[in-house]
Each structure stands twice: as C-alpha cells, then as structure tokens.
Structure 1
C-alpha cells in the first residue's frame, strides 16, 4: 500500500467484545490515548456496567455500545444448542464488523483486547484492511486456554480456536502484553514480538481518608446490615442496633465533626472476582471456616452451642486476640449464585460475608478502606496477572494471592503480600496477619508499608508513556506516515 496516499485522522478505536465497565485496562488505554496522545477515541464494546466517570466525562472519548448476544434459554431443545453456539460468533462478527467499518469514523489505529479472540481478531483485522488503519492487539491472556477450561485441551473447537488466535495474532502490526512470561511465550511459540505494559492503577486508586471511609460505610450500610443467614457477627441485631444510624457504622463512628475508627471493629477483607472457573472461590470459604474454628479453639469456646457471640459485651482481653472478619466480595459472574447458596449454609460466629457490585467510583474507596485483599485468580494460561491485585496495591492494600507461575512478577512475598496454594495456607496467613488487630498486627502493618513504598513509583500514565505510546506511534507512522 502506498503510505503517502493515506492521511492521518487523529483517532483511535478501542475494541472490547465484552462489558466496557468491567474492562479497566481498556478504559485506561482510552484515557491515555485521549490525554497523552491527544487523539479522539472511539470505544466499541458491550454495555452493562458503567465505566469510570473519567471515561464518561472526557470530551474526546466516545462510547459505542453494541447489542449483546442474548443468553441461550434453558428451554431450548438440546438439538438446537450446537446451532446456536455456531450462530453466536457469526452474529457477533457481523455486528462488530458493522460498527468498525460503518458506525465509527476511520481511525489511525485499532487497539483490541484479547481474549476473546473469536470473532474479535478476525473482525478487527479485516476492518483494518478496509479502513487502512494500524492494528494492535493487547494480550491480556490466551482465549484458547479459557475455552479449554470448559471443553478440555483436546477439544477440536479449542484446537481451531488456537489456530485462529495464533494466525490472526501474527497479522497484527504490533502487540502489547501484561507479563514478561507472556512476552516470552509469544516470542518463542507464536512468532510475535510483544511489548510488556504492566497493569498499573490510575490516579483515582489511592488509600482512602478516614472521612471517605466513613461516608462509604454509611452508603453501603444497608448491604452490610443484611446477613445471608439468620444472623451473623456483623448484623446490627447482634450489635444491639435495630436501625442504621447515619453516624455509626461497623467500622467508624462520628461525634459532631470528628470521625473515629472503632477499636473493636471487624477486620475488612476484600476480594474481587468474576465468579468464573479460573477462580476457585471455595478456597476462600474453606479458609474462613478454618479461621472461625481455630479462633474458637483458642478461646476454648463450644462451637456446637449455636449461641451468637455478642462482641460488645466481652471484657476478657484474650477475646480480642483475633478480630471478627468481614469479607466483602465484589463482582459479577456465572457462579455467583452457587457460592451465595454455600455461604448461606455456613454457621460462622466470627466471620461474615457480603457480596455486592459497586459503582466505579466506590470500588477504589472500598479497596482503600480495607485491611487486606485476597486474590483467587489462577490464570488459565499461567501467563497473565490479575488486575485486581494491581488495583489493591494502588490503594495501599496488601494482598494474599493464589500462587502460580508468574504471580511473583507482581506480588513480592513478605514485601507487599503473601502467596498461598491451599485453603489451609490462607487460613494460616489470616491467623498470622490479624493476630492483635488493629494495633498489634505488626506483619500486616509491615506489608502495608511495603505496598505504600512501591506504589509511588508505579503509575499507569508513566508506564503507558514509556511502553505503549512509542509502539502506537511506530505502527501508525509505518501505516500512515509520521505522527
């Protein structure tokens, strides 16, 4: 193609065959393209969850929401299901192709999230030919390994998916990826030269102030006060409060203009999950049961009595050696209801669970208000890193994460977090970290200090400027001439 005949348009298209509100890295790409590269940005994605307000309010970012493929009804005859499964990618391809070629202005570059690979990579590559645009893939993981979780590695569909992903992946003008391990895999076995762009939190992920914590807990107070079972250690009935006091939360209290953290507050543990098979939430449930029973044994309590423990009336100093734990689990996904049913059947005295979906502006505040983060992500490929841990570190929150091949690129053991491989190991870490909470938990404080020391040098904007912007400029120049 004669490059001199193609003029630059000053636009970029960010493509996500998924919910843009649940694709934080692609939202950050859009913000950087608009702020740092000074481009008009068109986001083509599904709706569902609202993106961050910074994306919604930026005048140079334009969101184009496609209609999502409906879920297959359970009443559909089994003989028709294979037909529907084959029809789905065809319909997705036609809709995505229409948006990329007709609905949005021709961009200088398409930046597409992978996975999903089919039909995304095919549609974007063809659109880049037609519109004479550069084509960059941002590799978050491998699509064929995710498909293999449900179909198995030996499935013919997985083999075909792998071929399509590799074939069209090699046709991109440039590639970004999330880890050095993935960069090595792409280079050695796929013939793809990728630039590592580590996930980093944007500026709105930071530790929460005491006032921000109090206001957040007041906003979500209704959700906190509703236990899954008849009562638990956080429900307001046990605390002796029949209604939600706007100045009183399980963690904070306000007297006139002064806000205080309660000395006998529960420890707040946060986990964000997509409720999918690559995150075994059962590990967290088992660890919670172990923590509950171990503390009961230390306190010489009879777990079989079924009597609720009224913490405000306990005066024995030994009772406060280990705190109550509140696990707040955020996220949406297919296995959420299954695990909520399991939570309802647990008979825990010192541990409570709440599941919720928070607005984009409240999620960083929750992380910045918590005492510990737990990550259950195991990676279908073993080559990606969990964005949720990056967000937690941005908010100054130490992490306990499932151990797998490349997680140490992110979690530095005994510096900013700990790793575990079983529910028993996680229970051990909970006992160790929260002993003497809130004042005498020295190991937890040391981990938080380590997170805060490293977060100042880890910024999305600087990483994007150093790694992504040069690649984008290079592929645009090769296709359309100098920027």
Structure 2
C-alpha cells in the first residue's frame, strides 16, 4: 500500500487541508530520552512540521539542545524506576518494577494529559509500554503507532537465556499487543518482512523507516577545522597526540557503545592486542558512551596496558554531554568500529548511521540478517565476525598501504550519509500523520 493511501485510512480527516495545524502527538520512551536518538528525531520532525509534541520518558542524561528550545515540544519526565537490590532475585523484582511503571505511565497518559491524535511508542521496552499504550488509545480514541527498534523478548533472551520462562512470557506478550497498533514502523526492511509472517502475522500496515543521520552529523572537510576539533574534544591527556594524528603517523579509531551485553567489547580488545602484536601503526582508540559494563572493561583495558600487550595502542573512554562534540569527533576519525550484534538479527545500529553522516567508514560486526541494508561491503565499510577478522581489517586499513582503500570507503560513507532523516521521515511518517502535504 503506498504511503499516501495510508494517510487516507489513518490520517485525521478533521484536519484535512490544514497540514500540521493542531496535530497533537504523544511520544513515549520508557527509557532515557537523552539516549534515544530516533525518538528525539521523531519529535523534532513533528515539531518542525507544525505538530505539537509531548515527549515522555526518563531524564537521565542531557537532552538535545533542539528539544529544550523548541516551543512545539514539551518534555514530560517520568519518575525513574526503582533499582534492583542485589539480594533480590530478578524474577521477584521484575513485577514490582513493572507495576511502578504501569502506575506512573497510566497516570500521566490517562489523567495528566489531554487526548492526542497519535501515540507513538518505542518498542522495546515492550513491558509494560505496549499494554498501557493499547488500553489508553482504546479509551481515548487515539491512534497507536508502534516504532519497532528490536524485540523485547530477544533482548531479554540475550541476558537470561532463550529457555527462561520470562522470555517465553515476553514473547507471547509482544506478539499479542504488537497486533493492536494502528500502524507499525520498523528500522529495517528485514524486520518489516518478519512482522508480516508467522508467528507475528501482523495485519496492520507496516512501514520501514530507516534511521538516517541528523543534520548535526557532517564531514569535517578542512585540515584546520579537524585540528581545531581534535584540540577541543580529545581528553586532556591525549591532546599531545593531535600533531601525530594530523600528520597521519597515528591513526584515530572511534567506537561508541552503551556498554551493554549486546555489544561484546572483548572482540575489540582481543583484536587490538592482535593488531599490536603485528606491529601496526600507532593508533588512538576513543570509546564513547556510558553503561553498566563500562567499569569492567576499563579494568580489562588497564590490565592489558600494564601487561605491555598494547605497546602501540592507546585506548581512552569518553562521554560527550554535547552531541555536537561527538559528531565532530566522528568526522575527525579515520575509522569507526561497531560491535552491535543484534539480538533479533533484523535491527540496525544507529551508531553506524551517525558515522556515515559524519563521513566515517566503518568496520562492523556483520553476522545478522539486516546488516547489508546499511553497510555495503567494500563500499562504505567492512564486516567482521571474529576478533581475528577485525584485527586483520585494522591492519589492512590503518597501514600506509591501506590509505587508498580507506579513502574509497570514506567516499562511500559520505554518499550513504547524504540520505538524511528529514527526507526519510517526511516521505513516510509525515504523510501518514498529515503533517506533510501529499506531493
């Protein structure tokens, strides 16, 4: 079904002829808004086209400046969920956490806000978001859009094991409530096809809306600008390396992560020890982000350095409160590394999208179905599955002999990054919401 036809079915007829005027959208992120770039981009696109947005979620990190300063966007903070005591088993703590979330989310959506035309929810987390959203939309005559980033049950299976009883329950729950949205958005074509087939068999419209970089991610073109950015954004202890990075005697690699189990950073560390043993050119590796496993990996990095196993490799961690600094760092790097492994096999890593927007070629873990929708082997990046393969790629691309290949990949990354979020969003979601006129 073409997008304009979906508008005829799901578009708000009372607003026909007044695109964008009075369209109210509630967006629910049952997570940290500051670390939910796709939902942030949804909110900014709706507001840009005249819609009014209530953006609902946790306030744990700094918000995008454009969110804070947009008159069409109102942030509604949810109280942070309780932390699990170490002595309490997960299976006993989980119901209490869910009840806490159900109460506060229902209070806000049912009593704290006026009904909206659309309710857009991020999935996962599925529990309790989908159930609350379905009930609220039914009683408030609101149209529900489920934005499928991944599957909640597959993420749970990656930590609890596929045979865990909670995984079985989560899978049934997600399949049932996933049928009840008016519209489904997916991050990949592979996910859209999967949702159409058993066991999901969703018979409501499904539209793939690929992640695209925001305008803040741009290639750094001049030597002067690159040097100025590096002098500003690198950690203080590494600023003395700027001249070596600028003259190419030291290479700069960036990897971003949320430090969670779905990204096995031991692959990168093992690859770097093999790269060091092969005496590759000196390299500075900047790992950005924060999350639960960060302290564990910092200890491993220190142990490797103290043991002399990283003689020509310097690894630092950083977290950028200002997204612009992160975007500039990507543009200054020689290579990006992505370790996203995909619990479902059909999602795509947003971090690679941002790297392409900054003109940065990638080496990315590739053993999942949807990988080729984003990374074109030999055109804008290279894929690997093992630490040995990643070490080989680093040796090939960061050596003087690999400059031509790396330059070619950079051109491909710039080309892929030229496809921007606004263009993708306005040709799909914007039309359906009647925020953009049918061409």
Please report the TM-score for the alignment, with normalisation by the length of structure 1. 0.81
Offset at 1:9? 4.8
- Does residue 448 (structure 1) correspond to residue 410 (structure 2)? The answer is yes
- Does residue 416 (structure 1) correspond to residue 374 (structure 2)? The answer is no
Offset at 1:451? 1.5
Offset at 1:127? 1.4
Q: For 1:300-336, what per-residue CA distance to the aligned partner results, in whole angstroms no more than 9, with x for missing partners?
A: xxxxxxxxxxxxxxxxxxxxxx431111111121111
Contact 1:174/1:471 (8 A) holds in 2: no
Q: 1:41 aligns with which of 49, 53, 58?
A: 53
Contact 2:82/2:97 (8 A) holds in 1: no
Indicate the residue corresponding to 1:308 in structure 2. none
Offset at 1:472? 3.0
- Compared CA separation, residues 288 and 467, structure 1 to 2 (3 A): same
Offset at 1:361? 2.1
Contact 2:233/2:329 (8 A) holds in 1: no
Q: 2:67 aligns with which of 55, 77, 82?
A: 55
- Does residue 383 (structure 1) correspond to residue 383 (structure 2)? The answer is no
Indicate the residue corresponding to 1:73 in structure 2. 85
- State the distance in 2 between where 1:102 and 1:355 align: 43
Q: For 1:211-241, what per-residue CA distance to the aligned partner results, in whole angstroms no more than 9, with x for missing partners?
A: 54334333344x351xxxxxxxx6xxxxxxx
- State the distance in 2 between where 1:411 and 1:83 align: 41
Contact 2:227/2:246 (8 A) holds in 1: no
- Compared CA separation, residues 211 and 263, structure 1 to 2 (3 A): closer
SS where residue 63 of structure 1 aligns?
strand
Q: 1:199 aligns with which of 203, 211, 217?
A: 211
Q: For 1:93-151, what per-residue CA distance to the aligned partner results, in whole angstroms no more than 9, with x for missing partners?
A: 11111111222332110000000000001111111122221100000000000011122
Q: 1:432 aligns with which of 368, 385, 396?
A: 396
SS where residue 470 of structure 1 aligns?
helix
Q: 2:293 aligns with which of 322, 325, 335?
A: 335
- Does residue 121 (structure 1) correspond to residue 105 (structure 2)? The answer is no
Contact 1:139/1:178 (8 A) holds in 2: yes
Indicate the residue corresponding to 1:355 in structure 2. 317
Offset at 1:473? 3.6
- State the distance in 2 between where 1:419 and 1:473 align: 39
Offset at 1:364? 0.7
- Compared CA separation, residues 77 and 66, structure 1 to 2 (3 A): closer
- Compared CA separation, residues 42 and 443, structure 1 to 2 (3 A): same
- Does residue 374 (structure 1) correspond to residue 374 (structure 2)? The answer is no
- State the distance in 1 between where 2:389 and 2:146 align: 37
- Does residue 274 (structure 1) correspond to residue 274 (structure 2)? The answer is no
Number of equivalent positions: 412
Contact 1:145/1:381 (8 A) holds in 2: yes
- Compared CA separation, residues 177 and 96, structure 1 to 2 (3 A): same
Specify every segment of 5 or more residues in structure 1 that has no aligned partner in the other structure, as ranges: 226-233, 235-247, 254-260, 296-321, 475-481
Offset at 1:250? 1.6
- Does residue 469 (structure 1) correspond to residue 427 (structure 2)? The answer is no
- Compared CA separation, residues 155 and 4, structure 1 to 2 (3 A): closer
Offset at 1:62? 0.8
Please report the TM-score for the alignment, with normalisation by the length of structure 2. 0.89
Q: CA RMSD in A?
A: 2.3
Q: For 1:68-102, what per-residue CA distance to the aligned partner results, in whole angstroms no more than 9, with x for missing partners?
A: 1132132x355xx5432211101101111111122
Q: For 1:3-32, what per-residue CA distance to the aligned partner results, in whole angstroms no more than 9, with x for missing partners?
A: 999899521011100001100000000011
Which of 1 and 2 has greater Rg?
1
Indicate the residue corresponding to 1:101 in structure 2. 110
- Compared CA separation, residues 212 and 50, structure 1 to 2 (3 A): farther
SS where residue 208 of structure 1 aligns?
coil
- Compared CA separation, residues 101 and 214, structure 1 to 2 (3 A): farther
Contact 1:9/1:107 (8 A) holds in 2: no
SS where residue 251 of structure 1 aligns?
helix
Indicate the residue corresponding to 1:316 in structure 2. none
